[in-house]
Amino acid sequence: MLRKALITLVCCVGFVLPVSAEPAYIDVSGYGEFKAWPDYLVLGIEISDTQKELPAAKDSVDSAFATLTRIARRLDIEAEDIESIMINNYPQYSYPKEGERRLTGHRVIRPVTLNLRELNRYGELLEALFDDERFRISSTTLRFNEPEEHKSKARRIALLQARAKAEEMAATLGQKVTGVLAIHEQGGHNPQAEVMVHSAMMMRSKAADSGSEMQIQKQSIEQQVQVRFSIEEDSK
């Protein structure tokens, strides 16, 4: 009976497989930056007016939008580069010290998004808009025609930097990089270049004869990655 149990135990031990050890690895980060000139400018334009009666306020804003359309046509801005899909009304009230609030008028606001493809016409556009107090520039954003292409270049730089860093660190410790175990993209950052918009007062001054200036720098497209490289002892 004892001999049979021993045989069974030996058979069980014979089927135990060795557990392979996890390969040695090194985790490094990589940073890539690619600079490029922006291709066009996206302007947020707010058209607004306040009148005692709502129809009058709306008519004034509609008239201003028609003026904007004519300005855009004169500057060769395509209709597809102008978007305006909403209009809002904000009743205006006065609050006397005694008594109930009183409706004094209506403020109508129509936001417009305009893509300016020819950046050299920025000054002309602003001068035309600031001649009418119903226009206000609410935002300016620089954009690329092919943003993913620039991100790809920055990401490639980040990966090459990670590889170089891993090889340097491994070699210092007598190791060598043998492969890639994992890659994690950590996103990036696309800071906006400076856009200088002169005030309406300056636009109406004699200084406007030379055109308003726009100060644009190259934009930095940044990408970051985290890479895990397998390493082993260098036999050299």
Model pLDDT, residue 10: 39
Mean pLDDT of 211-229: 85
Contact 33/220 with Cβ under 8 angstroms?
Answer: yes
Model pLDDT, residue 235: 80
How many residues would you count in the chain?
Answer: 236
Chain centroid to CA 215: 19
HSE-CB at 147 with a 13 A cutoff on CA atoms is 13
Q: How far apart are the first and last CA of the chain?
A: 58
Contact 125/69 with Cβ under 8 angstroms?
Answer: no
Contact 162/29 with Cβ under 8 angstroms?
Answer: yes
Please check the confidence at residue 120 and state whether its pLDDT lies above 60: yes
pLDDT band at 187 (very low <50, low <70, confident <90, very high): confident
Please check the confidence at residue 199 and state whether its pLDDT lies above 90: no
pLDDT band at 8 (very low <50, low <70, confident <90, very high): very low
